[in-house]
Amino acid sequence: MKKLSLQQNISYLICIVITVLIAIAIKPSYPQTPRGIVLPATSQHFAPTQADQVQLVNYMPNGTKVGDINIEMHLTSTEAANIKAAMTKVEAYAKKLAAKSGANIVAVTGGGVAASPQPLTALVFRGIAIRN
């Protein structure tokens, strides 16, 4: 077996250090705020409303379906322990999205904690935006 020279050992060490630094630099960061979208149900546009006028309900009311709301929020380990505070943020964001699309009711159709290894644990919200 051939012995490596000191110069080769140092160059290998430098390559390893550079590789580790690059891996740390490109590690993805997860936003700690709710992110989501309203997928329109029709091509009809509605005038925006105020977020404080939007109601969250757990039944399907009568009215015109504006779109489907899908929201996710990545949770840190401390936020995962306090789900109520995180859910309050997600609900406020759902109201904001619904108001922006012209809805005044959000029928909650699903959601909860999508348990995954940290830091991939997320709070998921699904709803239907309705204009009454």
Compute the chain's Rg from CA coordinates: 23
The amino acid present at 127, given as its one-letter code, is G
**What whole-number distance in Å separates Cα of residue 67 and Cα of residue 98?**
9
pLDDT surpassing 60 at residue 19? yes
Residue 6 belongs to some domain of the structure:
no
Domain that holds residue 55: 29-131
For the chain, the DSSP string reads -PPPPHHHHHHHHHHHHHHHHHHHHT-----SS-EEEEEESSS-------GGG-EEESS--SSEEEEEEEEEEE--HHHHH-HHHHHHHHHHHHHHHHHHHT-SEEEEEEEEEE--STT--EEEEEEEEEE-
Q: How do residues 21-35 score in pLDDT, each as one tens digit?
A: 999 888 777 667 899
In a domain, 5, yes or no: no
Decide if 99 is inside a domain: yes
Q: Does residue 4 form part of some domain?
A: no
Domain contains 61: yes
Question: What is the reported pLDDT for 31?
Answer: 67
On whether residue 127 sits in a domain, the answer given is yes
- Residue whose C-alpha is closest to residue 112's, from 104, 122, 99, 98: 122
pLDDT digits (tens, 9 = 90+) for 33-73: 899 999 999 888 899 999 999 999 999 999 999 999 999 99
Question: Which CATH number belongs to the domain containing residue 51 in this structure?
Answer: 3.30.110
Q: Bridge partners of 29?
A: none
Reported pTM? 0.75
pLDDT above 60: residue 129: yes
| Number of structural domains the chain divides into | 1
